[in-house]
């Protein structure tokens, strides 16, 4: 076994570097021949052991440099082969759709709003919109609110300081008046929107919240139509077989007026708490549109009749997901918002 020296290593390196490794087979053959168990490096290492002590240092350095150069040649060839394969698109389907880009989720108020609107859409209701800054007529007078009604009070209503004739609507019922003034019956509309009341913020109340209003006006509309429509809504929103009840109530703009409850059940402690031990949950206000309201908007109350309803979106979202604190909807903490995914 001849002693290892620089000249021999230089020669071996020149030969190795002269090998053109332009496909996978050549690359693999090179790997086995040089780095394999019976390859060149293995043989050189064995010969290195036989190098006499005083020469070991010098030869060792030469051998290490040789190994690194050999590895570099191999890595470079491998790198360029991979790059070529990528460029040629081998194994890659360029027609494949890209992965989903996470875009966040809808706000729970939006989810419930859309779900409710789509149920009424299937029943033939279209969506109408009205301004958030309103006047007394559309929010109160046109809806038959008496002059001294407490809702008109500074305590409940935000007035615009520079123009006290203007105020922030306290309910979406104002859009009913706008639509009745603007259009001829038949009317079959739902009116979603933000409303404002001068209330201290707490787990149960907020100065800004959302409502969905409904209005149906045509010839011969009866209380039976109201009940059937709202039952159909409740069954689609809360599930088939949902029971409802209508409790007598009072609103200035409907006669008779009612509160609609859905039967929630009394199985768990939570059920008992949220239904206050009755099993029933109040969902919305409703009633037959008062003839005075129709007349105030120029609709002949002898020819037409109708029903109306209004519900709070936050309240329904809280029931749907058992959310205990209204403030969560307004804080917009992503840890809260991320939990709501829906097709709506
Ligand atoms: N506007 C009422 C409120 O904000 C809700 C309401 C009750 C709307 C009865 C209606 C209705 O259209 O018929 O409390």
- Whether 171 is in the pocket of ligand 1, judged by its Cβ within 6 Å, is yes
What is the distance of C-alpha 68 from the center of its chain?
55
Indicate which atom in ligand 1 lies nearest the CA of residue 307.
13
Q: How many CB atoms lie within 10 A of CB 16?
A: 18
Centre of ligand 1 from the C-alpha of residue 273, in Å? 25
Last residue of a domain, one of 39, 61, 90: 90
Q: How many CB atoms lie within 10 A of CB 228?
A: 11
State which residues form the domain around 321. 108-340
Query: What is the arithmetic mean of pLDDT over 302-312?
Result: 98
Lowest average pLDDT, out of 56-60, 116-120, 130-134, 220-224, goes to 56-60
In a domain, 274, yes or no: yes
Q: Are residues 86 and 124 in the same domain?
A: no
Q: Are residues 41 and 176 in the same domain?
A: no
Q: Are residues 289 and 197 in the same domain?
A: yes
In angstroms, the CA 287 to CA 310 distance is 10
Cis before 186 (ω within 30)? yes
Residue 124, CA distances (Å) to 118, 140, 178, 218, 229 in order: 10, 28, 20, 13, 11
In a domain, 246, yes or no: yes
Q: Are residues 112 and 80 in the same domain?
A: no
The reported pTM is 0.71
- Write the CATH number for 227: 3.30.930.10
Q: Are 250 and 279 in contact (CB under 8 A)?
A: no
Reported as a single tens digit per residue, the pLDDT across 275-295 is 889 999 999 999 999 999 999
In a domain, 158, yes or no: yes
Spatial CA neighbour of 146 closest among 290, 263, 247? 290
- For ligand 1, atom 6, the nearest C-alpha belongs to 310
Reported as a single tens digit per residue, the pLDDT across 90-132 is 667 778 888 877 778 899 999 999 999 999 999 999 999 999 9
Half-sphere exposure of 93 (CA within 13 A, CB side): 4
In angstroms, the CA 1 to CA 295 distance is 117
Centre of ligand 1 from the C-alpha of residue 168, in Å? 16
- Whether 312 is in the pocket of ligand 1, judged by its Cβ within 6 Å, is no
- Whether 286 is in the pocket of ligand 1, judged by its Cβ within 6 Å, is yes
What would the two tokens of residue 222 be? 């009866």
Q: Are residues 40 and 175 in the same domain?
A: no
- Whether 297 is in the pocket of ligand 1, judged by its Cβ within 6 Å, is no
pLDDT at 273: 84
Lowest average pLDDT, out of 147-156, 261-270, 276-285, goes to 147-156
Centre of ligand 1 from the C-alpha of residue 78, in Å? 74
Mean pLDDT for the chain? 92
Indicate which atom in ligand 1 lies nearest the CA of residue 214.
12
In a domain, 100, yes or no: no
SS3 call for 226: helix
Q: Are residues 180 and 125 in the same domain?
A: yes
Q: Are residues 56 and 116 in the same domain?
A: no
Query: What is the arithmetic mean of pLDDT over 306-316?
Result: 96
Sheet-wide strand order for 187-196 = 126-127, 187-196, 208-218, 305-312, 280-289, 254-263, 244-251
Q: Are residues 57 and 114 in the same domain?
A: no
Lowest average pLDDT, out of 83-87, 124-128, 299-303, goes to 83-87
Q: Are residues 131 and 213 in the same domain?
A: yes
Q: Concatenated DSSP letters for 264-302?
A: ---SSHHHHHHTTTSSEEEEEEEEEEPHHHHHHTT--TT
In a domain, 294, yes or no: yes
- Whether 287 is in the pocket of ligand 1, judged by its Cβ within 6 Å, is yes
Indicate which atom in ligand 1 lies nearest the CA of residue 289.
13
- Whether 285 is in the pocket of ligand 1, judged by its Cβ within 6 Å, is yes
- Of 185 and 269, the structure prediction assigns the larger pLDDT to 185
Q: Are residues 205 and 253 in the same domain?
A: yes
Q: Are residues 237 and 205 in the same domain?
A: yes
In a domain, 99, yes or no: no
* Residue linked to tokens 């996470």: 102
Domain count, the chain: 2
What is the gyration radius of the CA atoms in the chain, in angstroms? 39
In a domain, 76, yes or no: yes
In a domain, 211, yes or no: yes
Indicate which atom in ligand 1 lies nearest the CA of residue 170.
4
Q: Are residues 127 and 182 in the same domain?
A: yes
Last residue of a domain, one of 61, 90, 119: 90
Dihedral through CA 264, CA 270, CA 276, CA 279, nearest 10? 20
Last residue of a domain, one of 64, 90, 116: 90
- Of 100 and 258, the structure prediction assigns the larger pLDDT to 258
Q: Pocket of ligand 1, candidates 199, 210, 287, 310: which has the most ligand atoms within 8 Å of its Cβ, to mutate?
A: 310
Centre of ligand 1 from the C-alpha of residue 254, in Å? 9
- For ligand 1, atom 3, the nearest C-alpha belongs to 171
SS3 call for 306: strand
Binning pLDDT at 50, 70 and 90, where does residue 1 land? very low
């Amino acid at each position: 076994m001849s002693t290892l020296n620089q000249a021999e290593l230089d020669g071996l390196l020149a030969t190795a570097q002269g090998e053109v490794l332009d496909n996978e087979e050549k690359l693999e053959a090179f790997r086995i021949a040089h780095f394999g168990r019976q390859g060149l490096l293995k043989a050189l290492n064995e010969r290195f052991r036989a190098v006499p002590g005083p020469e070991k240092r010098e030869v060792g350095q030469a051998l290490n440099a040789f190994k690194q150069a050999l590895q570099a040649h191999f890595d470079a060839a491998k790198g360029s082969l991979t790059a070529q394969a990528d460029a040629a698109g081998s194994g890659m389907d360029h027609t494949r759709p890209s992965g989903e880009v996470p875009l966040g989720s809808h706000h729970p108020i939006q989810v419930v709003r859309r779900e409710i609107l789509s149920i009424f859409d299937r029943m033939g209701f279209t969506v109408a919109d009205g301004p958030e800054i309103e006047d007394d007529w559309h929010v109160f007078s046109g809806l038959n609110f008496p002059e001294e009604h407490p809702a008109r009070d500074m305590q409940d209503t935000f007035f615009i300081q520079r123009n006290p004739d203007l105020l922030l609507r306290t309910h979406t019922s104002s859009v009913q008046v706008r639509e009745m003034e603007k259009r001829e019956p038949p009317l079959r509309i739902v009116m979603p929107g933000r409303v404002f009341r001068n209330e201290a913020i707490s787990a149960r109340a907020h100065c800004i919240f959302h409502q969905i209003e409904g209005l149906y006006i045509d010839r011969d509309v009866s209380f039976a139509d109201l009940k059937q429509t709202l039952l159909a809504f409740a069954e689609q929103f809360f599930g088939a077989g949902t029971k409802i009840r209508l409790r007598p109530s009072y609103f200035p703009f409907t006669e008779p007026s009612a509160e609609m409850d859905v039967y929630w059940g009394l199985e768990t402690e939570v059920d008992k708490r949220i239904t206050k031990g009755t099993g029933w949950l109040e969902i919305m206000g409703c009633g037959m549109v008062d003839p005075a309201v129709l007349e105030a908007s120029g609709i002949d109350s002898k020819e037409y009749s109708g029903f109306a309803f209004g519900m709070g979106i936050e309240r329904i979202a809280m029931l749907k997901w058992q959310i205990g604190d209204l403030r969560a909807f307004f804080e917009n903490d992503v840890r809260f918002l991320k939990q709501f995914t829906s097709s709506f």
